[in-house]
Amino acid sequence: MGAVSPAGTGVEALWKSLAEGRDLIRPIRVFDADRYECRNAALVPDRDESGPRGFLDRALAEALRDSPFRKTRRTGLSLGTTLGGAAFIGPACDGTDPLRRTAADVPYHALTDACARELGVALPPATLSGACASSLIAIGLGFLWIRSGKADAVLAGGYDFFCEFVHSGFSSLKALTPGKVRPFDLNRNGIVLGEGAGLLLLEEETAAIEAGRRPLARITGFSCVSDGNHITGPHPNGEGLYRSILKASAMASACPGDFDFVLAHGTATVYNDRMESIALNRFFGAGVPPASSIKSMIGHTLGASGALETVASVMAIRDGIAPPTINFSDADPECVLDPVPNEPRRMSIGRVLKTSSGFGGQNCAIVIENPGPGPGFTSKNG
């Protein structure tokens, strides 16, 4: 795996911050934010003018360290993004971009295509833009390519780069909070934006083990369901997310009681958190596992969020730690779940449900399992 996040470069840097419950949201310094109600963001500390390309290059280097990816015959690249190169459209068009990008360098697919050419991937690269669910859709697509026999190995994940354009847009939607990010809390009132990139190298399990590569985790189920409720508002009863969880679990042959932890989407908006809680309660009944949101610490990284949260899910399985939902103070009677409030929790985690939702009714769920000692691993449901 590879990660570039508000914690810096590297999976371990991200995980250390999450497992310790660090708040990485800071005052905005990259533009004058005084005219906005929300003046905070969670930015990559060593960002530069290369923008998302720099994020992806660093995540790629980590994900492909000592990897045979370039040598395998049937390889794929699947990347999700909410913004693509939106931060550079203006400078590219008016000639003020110091890196001399042009309008042809910044469409959504341009960065994926450039990475695919350099990596020499065999399959046509895929760029997914499903709002805040983008990178989980990209990971799910890579999983399905391998599951169907279309690919042997896929690099999958997502990225986004913070800029005033997107901050202004979310500000106009009244989606940003001037205070703390409080997922599932009674007093939650909005998101704070972040940025970064996350990548996972997916490979067919038998081939990996035969080549001496022990998997970090196993993906066993995925589903993406659109409920088409509203251009921005989620379905009030969590219909799309519930159906997505149901289908992903069925693919994984997992029952509600087989899950130990949920890494929730948890945006800290009034409607999304309520919808997600309803969907989880519909699926799990009275036994909803601990469900935390790392957006309370690293903000909403948009197209990178599903990937960074999948990375965190794998690390939670590895270390047996549920990262906390920080800034939690008052339980909301409409969000009936255990958000792992404020402090990390040591626990045995064999199977994680990871959820993502986005504007336009996008809803995704993926099932991630402990790979066990080898091919003979037996999951909780046999």
* CA neighbor of 24 nearest in space, from 39, 44, 2, 46: 44
Q: Which of 38, 115, 235, 300 is catalytic?
A: 300
Please say if 167 is a catalytic residue.
no
Q: Beta strand pairing status for 291-292 and 261-263?
A: parallel
CATH number of the domain to which 266 belongs: 3.40.47.10
pLDDT one digit per residue (tens) for the chain, 382 residues: 999 999 999 999 999 999 999 999 999 999 999 999 999 999 999 998 788 999 999 999 999 997 888 777 799 999 999 988 877 877 877 888 887 887 777 788 989 999 999 999 999 999 999 889 999 999 999 999 999 999 999 999 999 999 998 999 999 999 999 999 999 999 999 999 999 999 999 999 988 888 888 899 999 999 999 888 777 777 788 899 999 999 999 999 999 999 999 999 999 999 999 999 999 999 999 899 999 999 999 999 999 999 999 999 999 999 999 999 999 999 999 999 999 999 999 999 999 999 999 877 899 999 999 998 644 334 443 3
377: in domain: no
Q: Which of 115, 163, 224, 265 is catalytic?
A: 265
Percent of the chain residues past pLDDT 90, beyond the cut:
77
Instruction: Check: CB of residue 342 under 8 Å from CB of residue 326.
Output: yes
* CA neighbor of 371 nearest in space, from 167, 144, 209: 209
Burial pattern 146-168, b for ≥16 Cβ within 10 A else e, equals bbeeebbbbbbbbbbbbbeebbe
Give the total number of structural domains in the chain.
Answer: 1
206: in domain: yes
125: in domain: yes
Please say if 132 is a catalytic residue.
yes
Q: What is the pLDDT of residue 289?
A: 98
Burial of residue 48 (CB within 10 Å: 0-12, 13-18, 19+) is: exposed
Q: What is the pLDDT of residue 373?
A: 62
382: in domain: no
Three-state SS letters, the chain: CEEEECCEECHHHHHHHHHCCCCCCEECCCCCCCCCCCCEEECCCCCCCCCHHHHHHHHHHHHCCCCCHHHCCCEEEEEECCCCCHHHHHHHHHCCCCCCCCHHHCCCCHHHHHHHHHHCCCCCCEEECCHHHHHHHHHHHHHHHHHCCCCCEEEEEEEECCCHHHHHHHHHCCCECCCCCCCCECCCCCECEECEEEEEEEECHHHHHHCCCCCCCEEEEEEEEECCCCCCCCCCCCHHHHHHHHHHHHHCCCCHHHCCEEECCCCCCHHHHHHHHHHHHHHHCCCCCCEECCHHHHCECHHHHHHHHHHHHHHHHHHCEECCECCCCCECCCCCCCCCECCCEECCCCEEEEEEEEHHHEEEEEEEECCCCCCCCCCCCC
Which residues, listed in sequence order, are joined to residue 154 by a DSSP beta bridge? 76, 202
Instruction: Check: CB of residue 42 under 8 Å from CB of residue 17.
Output: no
**Residue range of the domain that includes 172:** 2-369
Q: What is the pLDDT of residue 278?
A: 96
Q: What is the pLDDT of residue 375?
A: 42
* Amino acid sitting at position 127: T
378: in domain: no
Both structure tokens of 132:
């805040």
Task: Count the Cβ atoms, other than its own, within 10 Å of residue 372.
Answer: 14
Q: Which of 38, 115, 132, 335 is catalytic?
A: 132
Backbone angles phi, psi at 273, to 5 degrees: -65, -40
Please say if 265 is a catalytic residue.
yes
192: in domain: yes
Q: What is the pLDDT of residue 285?
A: 94
Instruction: Check: CB of residue 307 under 8 Å from CB of residue 136.
Output: yes
The predicted model scores a pTM of 0.94
Phi-psi label, residue 255: left if phi above 0, alpha if psi -120 to 50, beta otherwise:
beta
- Cα 49 to Cα 10, 52, 97, 104: the distances in Å are 20, 9, 9, 18
* CA neighbor of 227 nearest in space, from 138, 301, 130: 130
375: in domain: no
22: in domain: yes
